[in-house]
Amino acid sequence: MQPLHLLDSQVRSLRQQVQSTETQLRNLKIQLQQAEQQCEAARQLEEAWAGGFPHEWINETLAALSPEAHQAVGQESQPQSTHGRWPLESEEYKRYGRQMILPEVGLHGQLRLKKARVLIVGAGGLGCPAAAYLAGAGVGTLGLVDGDTVEISNLHRQVAHGTDRVGMSKVDSAVEYLTSLNPRVNYQRHPYHLTPQTAISLFEQYDLVLDCTDHPTSRYLISDTCVLTSKPLVSASALKTEGQLIVLNNPPLPPGSSNGGPCYRCVFPRPPPADSVLSCGEGGILGPVVGLMGVLQALEAIKLLTAQPSPSSTLEPPKPTLLIFSAYSTPPFRSVRLRTRRADCAACSSVASITSQSLTSGSLDYVAFCGGTSPLDLLPPHARVSAAEFARQPRDGTNTLIDVRDETQYSMCALRGSVNVPWTGDAESWAQAAALREEISAAGKACYVVCRMGNDSQLAARALMERGLGADGGVRHIEGGFRAWREEVDPGWPEY
């Protein structure tokens, strides 16, 4: 048996060797990817040439496209064509001609789109329009990830789904729509939610990723995976009447390369407090707002995919920007300069702590990182009442129903005789507003508090109890709010 200190140093040295070999492997993979891209560009040109590109132009064009590509082609003596006279089929010229005649696209751009594999994570308000425009533009392979099924409340904005497909998997529904739009695209279905364990092997099958999800948890996971697999990421989000768009990890250089584009963690190293995160179901969303952001994602993807590959030596440092859209501001668009890569970023810096192993092993807990929200349970049993119990209370003026939804929701539907005191988010100011209402401050009346889901009503009931308001008649909140009211008492109550 060797002495402990020798074994220790052996472990240390092996660990160092493993680390340096891993770094070497990662760099080799990046080099391979770049070489493949250059080779691809060269091959496309060969095909273009076979389709009538004059022979004497080819070297000149290749040189302009990329010096490396030129060399790669120079080594092949005879260009080969697999397509006959023209590189695209005749229907493709008709289908894509209106974008191909733009100098920004051209034949080369169209061939690059055809070779491209794009992964769209989320087939909702962003993913539907993004997928539609990318399919229409002739992207070769389009992968869709979503574990949800279509609901009728999705249809005002999720334009790839339809009324007759409510209940169907969103991925299947979207592929049905997209196939009718453009059957030439190879659609890949991934009808499940993205997980850290499977994300890397999935992303490796694609060239570019669109984040069309709706939660910080998935946004960090997608960004980390894009860094680890060297994929550029087009990320967008929307809520109420506003939207945001960023292109991240572009260029997708290995962690530690300061010329690579920043990742989501560079811009947002810490997640927002969980209770500050609103979903579209809670906060609301205007269809064209999220649609616009999804269309812009497709546009950024087309720009990235059709761009001429440039040799890494001439790469300019990234100039990352964030586009902010605000439907009711003038002007509605604002583009702002963002920081570059963060020197201590947990994902893309030279001191990154997030590795492929930490993802695939499941040791990275994204839900814990972003902080989960648990259902509110603030009140003792005597201060709670079910919707069915409330329905049995006399309607003789001995009790008051306080509806704490905002005015917009209250004016959509309300119970006759109820009093609307919108929850302000703050117990003190809300209780002040409530105390001004005679129905609440009057002696001897029982107070029932209701809201949409049964959370704000607990906060409001507690605010009353702590201030002794409605104390003699008792204060209760209605469990589950109007959702429970609809389920237990009145099926005709509007579900929204």
Partner 1 sequence: MASTIPVKIEFTGGLEILFSHQRSHKIALPSSDPSTNQPANVGFLIDWLCKNLMKDPREDMFVLEGTVRPGILVLINDADWELEGQEAYELQAGDEVVFVSTLHGG
Interface residue list for partner 1 (CB under 8 A): 122, 124-127, 211-216, 219, 236-240, 242-244, 267-273, 276-280, 283, 285, 290, 293, 322, 324, 326, 329, 334-339, 424-426, 428-429
Helix 216-229 × helix 196-203 angle, to 10°: 40
Number of separate helices (H) and strands (E) present in the chain:
20, 13
User: Does the active-site annotation cover 451?
Assistant: yes
The verdict on whether residue 157 carries a ligand-binding annotation is: yes
Our CB check for partner 1 shows the closer of 290 and 449 to be: 290
- Choose the catalytic residue: 212, 226, 370, 451: 451
Distance CA 380, CA 247 (A): 49
User: How many angstroms separate the CA atoms of 405 and 386, rounded?
Assistant: 18
Q: Nearest to residue 478, comparing CAs of 396, 393, 374?
A: 393
156 is in an annotated binding site: yes
| Residue 280 bears catalytic tag | yes
154 is in an annotated binding site: yes
CB of 429 to partner 1, least distance (A): 7
Shortest separation between residue 137's beta carbon and partner 1, angstroms:
21
Of 243 and 260, which CB lies nearer to partner 1 in the complex structure? 243
Catalytic entry in 128, 226, 280, 370: 280
- Closest approach, Cβ 348 to partner 1, in A, equals 15
Nearer to partner 1, 45 or 263 (CB): 263
Token pair in block for residue 416: 């006759």
215 labelled ligand-binding: yes
**Angle formed by the axes of helices 67-74 and 55-65, nearest 10°:** 140
Strands (E), 320-462: 321-326, 333-337, 384-385, 399-403, 419-420, 446-450
User: If you search the block for the tokens 């005709």, which residue do you land on?
Assistant: 492
**310 known ligand binder:** no
- Comparison of 99 and 424: residue with beta carbon closer to partner 1: 424
Residue 77 CA, chain-centre distance (Å), reads 46
The reply, when asked if residue 418 is annotated as ligand binding, is no
CA 103/CA 308 separation, integer angstroms: 12
Least distance CB 467 / partner 1 (angstroms): 15
Question: Min. distance of Cβ 350 from partner 1 in angstroms?
Answer: 19
Distance CA(66)–CA(105), nearest Å, equals 17
Q: Are 462 and 379 in contact (CB under 8 A)?
A: yes
Q: With respect to partner 1, which residue has the nearer C-beta, 36 or 428?
A: 428
The residues carrying an active-site annotation are 280, 451
Q: Which residues are annotated as a binding site for Zn(2+)?
A: 263, 266, 345, 348
Q: Which residues are annotated as a binding site for ATP?
A: 125, 146, 153-157, 170, 214-215
